[in-house]
A and B are shown apart, each in its own frame.
Chain A
Amino acid sequence: MLVRFREAFQEFWRLKVSKVGVVFLMILVFLSVYVVTSYPLDFGVRYWNNPAYWADYPKSAPPSWVNYFSDQKLPEHHVFIYNKPSDIISTESGRTLLYVFRLDFQADKSPTFISFTLENLTYYSDPLVARLNVTRPDGKNIELYRYIAPAPYAGESPPYKRFYDSPKRISITGDISVASVLARFLLREYNVSIKPSEINSIGQHTIVFSIPGPDKEFYVLKGEYIFMVSINTYDSRDYVGEVKLVIGGNVYGFMGTDSLGRDLSIGLLFGFPIALFIGIVTSTITTLLGAGLGIVGGYVGGKVDEVIQRAADFVNNIPLLPLLIFLAFILGQNMWILVFLLVAFGWPTLTIIVRSMVLQLKSSQFIEAAISLGAPRLWIMFRHIFPQVAPFIFAQLIFFTPTFILLEAALSFLGLGDPTMPTWGQILEYGFRSGGIYVGLWWWIIPPGLLIIWTAITFVLIALGMEPVVNPRLRRMK
């Protein structure tokens, strides 16, 4: 048995098609193992589907390597994190912690948002007061925001702990009071009067990073910007855990982000194990079920064969995709139901083919010889018939995998996939539903499609490679 296997493998290995297929498969498996080991299993629910987690990511940002292709440099995404103040000024009423962030800004377009986040604050007497101000390359200084930590609640005793399990994110962009501060700044410095609501629609981040032109246009001011967060503390034991400043970029990372700011490279990476899992598990079960019924039907014949054939006919005649839509619509959408449905309607094609093969095998001499020796039916089926049919079944198993990967993607695209899992179909569905496609967010739509094709091709190539092994006549030709 082993020798036949080695020989079959050599035959398989001779084809270039199979080499490429196996290399791809190895890459897929490695990536899946990497993802499963380095990401928490409930990544889908806790992070991917948690919009607040992606608050500080730029939204609908193309990948950063886009900058190499276009002459207009888009601003990068900058995240500054401080866990210790850079300066401390102590005054009579208490210490002022200073956090200084320097940013040399050379992009041709202003950033997309500005926000700063405070985490793990503790104070003992008066609430801490945090201020954010910016000194621009032209030397002008603006105090953008003043924030007072929530005062002690009724019945709370010091130390007053704030923002331990959920950090306080303050967004400069879209803040009405910042808009009126900037309106006054523009009037004072440039004698340009713009209503706060207009500033709000242009974007506070644009105004901070640019100089007003004559007719209310804004031109980017390049050079070094110094942002400073100063926190007044009123008790020596007061403590500030972390201060983070984010200057939102227009491009991000290796694969860009979707409209919620989710890093697509992580989402796409997470798609590998799921696609493989759904593809392989579903096709394995379907093949085993289909082949099993085929062998039993073909060999046992009579009443049993008739029942299996009619069942196969029945299931085969039901329009698959509409019914899948229907059942997913009712039974709810989770991956296990999807697998069950795909198996329940996937087995008949294989059963019919295997049955016809077994019928031919049944009349061959060595099977008759085995029967005459009184070998039990099960033994014959397992020992003699199965090995004959095995290569074909294994080829079908490989061939079914892409079908199921595509079906999962199709169902997700119709909005019936498992919402807790960031599969490629899900990413594409959200891209299509939120209209990202037609506004040119190509980095959101093309990669998932290509990955679906790449995974599917891997199995198709392997199946092609296995063809001569499965079909001896073909082998003799070459």
Chain B
Amino acid sequence: MGLARTLSMRALTLVAVLVLVVFFMVIILGATGTSDKILQAMVNEEVMMLRQSLAKTIKDPQELERVINIRKQELMEFYGLTKPWYVRLPDMAWRVLTLDLGKARTLKTFAGGNKVSDIVIERLTNTIILVTSATIISALIGLVLGVRIATKVGGILDRISSYMSAISYAIPTWWIGIILIMVFSFLLKLFPFGGLYSAPPPSDPYLRFLDLLWHSVLPVTTLVIASVGVWIYTTRTIVLNTAQEDFVNAARARGLPEELVRRRYIMRVAAPPILTNVILGLATSISGAILTETVFNWPGLGRLFYDAVLVMDEVVVIALTYIFTLVYVVARFLLEVLYVTLDPRVRY
């Protein structure tokens, strides 16, 4: 019984955290007056440009003034400035929480639709191709190498791996991205400079997918270079720690073959923390890599969040925060369940 109760308690707190994060976002957007400031600035900029071009045709000052005021009122409504933030944002947040994401103000899907859910789904596929695959690749490399290195601590491989993970940990992803573009696109002309497809995009779906893969090689390599070091290092440390546990030594003392000890004792206990990292890594990868997506002109979720903040498309900002946190919270809950079932020692 204890297990169900604690898990449900855990679920409740995570949901509370989810709601809190969304309303925290509303407070930052609204209370600090940011969204009003930026939206008002955008209205002002648009009215100034309109006045500059209108003055060429409308010569009479009164007429110009009248038309400009109507246009300004129209824009105020368009940007939602007619409603104060504490009315506008909370109801937006409430609609997002009840999964009715509604319509974006300026951002659109490539086909022209402005339903937030369509925009997110469209960008999600790009992020998955880029960031999630990079996370999986570097996780796999990390696991394979991590475990191999952990068994032969102190060997040359171990020392080299620690240097590599140090370098990989310290590399700024976006910088290595720029260097890869300079070398492989600018100098060697092997890969495209960025973007999703080459222009004109191949029409038949199979070629179009290949074209997409060809475009994703450099960005994925960038992300792998920057994160593989961390994966190797963490896996190696976890496996090393479990390898020292008493019950492992006991097993060896009982004369069990090394292979059996490694598989049944070390790996079985090391599995949950490694799994934790993999799941958490996947969850955070959804939020995309803003910097890499910027350098490679890759329209993923990270880039979408950055554009939404620049254009102050409030609905999209709140919706994306909600989605990122939701995915993360679900991942953590999954971990709780996994943790309990897999590792007998942990009992609440």
Contacts and interface: CB of A to CB of B under 8 A. Distances in A.
Contacts of B32: 330
Tell which of B28, B162, B165 has the most Cβ of chain A within 10 Å. Answer: B162
A452 interface: yes
Interface string B1-24: 000000000000110111011001
Contacts of B332: 313
B307 to A, nearest CB: 11
B170 A453 contact: yes
Interface stretch (A77-85, A177-185, A253-261, A314-322): A314-322
B172 A406 contact: yes
20 contacts: A17-B159, A310-B16, A313-B14, A319-B325, A321-B287, A322-B305, A322-B306, A322-B309, A330-B34, A402-B169, A410-B174, A414-B306, A437-B178, A438-B182, A442-B182, A449-B176, A461-B166, A471-B237, A477-B244, A478-B154
A460 B166 contact: yes
Interface in A430-478: 432, 437-438, 440, 442, 445-446, 449, 452-453, 456-457, 460-461, 464, 467, 471, 473-474, 476-478
B116 interface: no
Tell which of B181, B237, B244 has the most Cβ of chain A within 10 Å. Answer: B244
Interface of B: 13-14, 16-18, 20-21, 24, 28, 32, 34, 153-154, 159, 162-163, 165-167, 169-172, 174-176, 178-179, 181-182, 186, 237, 240-241, 244, 287, 290-291, 294, 302, 305-306, 309, 317, 320-321, 324-325, 328-329, 332
Contacts of A438: 182, 186
Contacts of B305: 319, 322
Given A413-B291, A446-B179, A471-B241, A318 B325 contact: yes
A473 B186 CA distance: 50
A325 B14 CA distance: 25
Nearest to A478: B154
A456 B175 CA distance: 14
Interface in A368-406: 402, 406
Contact of B169 (A310, A318, A446, A456): A456
B131 to A, nearest CB: 13
A329 B38 CA distance: 10
A326 interface: yes
A460 B174 contact: no
A153 to B, nearest CB: 39
Nearest to A309: B13
B180 to A, nearest CB: 12
Contact of A474 (B21, B163, B167, B240): B240
A32 B345 CA distance: 50
Nearest to B186: A438
A318 B153 CA distance: 37
A327 interface: yes
A327 to B, nearest CB: 7
Nearest to B16: A310
A440 to B, nearest CB: 8
A137 B277 CA distance: 72
A317 B170 contact: no
A441 B18 CA distance: 46
A343 interface: no
B212 to A, nearest CB: 23
B170 A406 contact: yes
Given A321-B290, A461-B166, A326 B28 contact: yes
Nearest to B18: A317
A317 B325 contact: yes
A308 interface: no
Given A318-B325, A322-B287, A474-B244, A428 B17 contact: no
Nearest to B245: A473
A235 to B, nearest CB: 55
Interface string A418-433: 0000000000100010
A471 to B, nearest CB: 7
A460 B170 contact: yes
A310 to B, nearest CB: 6
Contacts of B179: 445-446, 449
A191 B160 CA distance: 69
Contacts of A442: 182
A409 interface: yes
Tell which of A317, A330, A437 has the most Cβ of chain B within 10 Å. Answer: A317
A85 B321 CA distance: 70
Contact of B291 (A330, A414, A452): A414
A179 to B, nearest CB: 35
B309 A414 contact: no
B31 to A, nearest CB: 11
Contact of A452 (B175, B306, B320): B175
B240 A319 contact: no
Given A330-B34, A452-B175, A319 B291 contact: no
Tell which of B178, B186, B317 has the most Cβ of chain A within 10 Å. Answer: B178
Nearest to B169: A460
Contact of B172 (A319, A409, A471): A409
A473 B172 contact: no
Interface string A303-314: 000000010011
B162 A17 contact: yes
Nearest to A448: B175
A329 B20 CA distance: 22
B252 to A, nearest CB: 13
Contacts of A449: 172, 175-176, 178-179
B329 to A, nearest CB: 6
Q: Which 5 residue pairs across A and B have the least CB separation, nearest first? A: A456-B170, A473-B244, A460-B166, A449-B175, A330-B34
Contacts of B181: 437
A314 B290 contact: no
Contacts of B163: 17
A327 B29 CA distance: 10
Nearest to A322: B305
A69 to B, nearest CB: 16
A476 to B, nearest CB: 7
A321 B20 CA distance: 19
Contacts of B167: 453, 457
B290 A322 contact: yes
Nearest to A457: B170
